[in-house]
Amino acid sequence: MYLIVNYDVKQEKCQPLMKLLKQYLFHIQNSLFEGELTNQTQKELVDKINKLITKEDGAVIIYLLPSVKPLKTINIGNNEERFKIII
């Protein structure tokens, strides 16, 4: 399963959440991560996020795609180098 994770959380939760996500996914932009995970690893990550982030802390949005193949991106600006890792 291919995941795209975006978050908007309180400042004190940003660093712990970013550290957690970097263990599983590629860091694309400030609060944006993506990568391919097995169903078991995805469940493990979601469980860890649920333990770290409460409703009062903000929001984490996870987009699930069956694979990276249907994913098409349009890159605008100075981000070409970052996306070469994924594509």
pLDDT at position 87, please? Answer: 41
* Residue 7 clears pLDDT 90, i.e. is over it: yes
pLDDT at position 20, please? Answer: 98
pTM: 0.82
Q: Which domains does the chain have, with CATH numbers?
A: 2-84 (3.30.70.240)
Q: Which of 3-7, 55-59, 78-82 has the lowest mean pLDDT?
A: 78-82
SS3 string, the chain, reads CEEEEEEEECHHHHHHHHHHHHCCCEEEECCEEEEECCHHHHHHHHHHHHHHCCHHHEEEEEEEECCCCCCCCCCCCCCHHHHHCCC
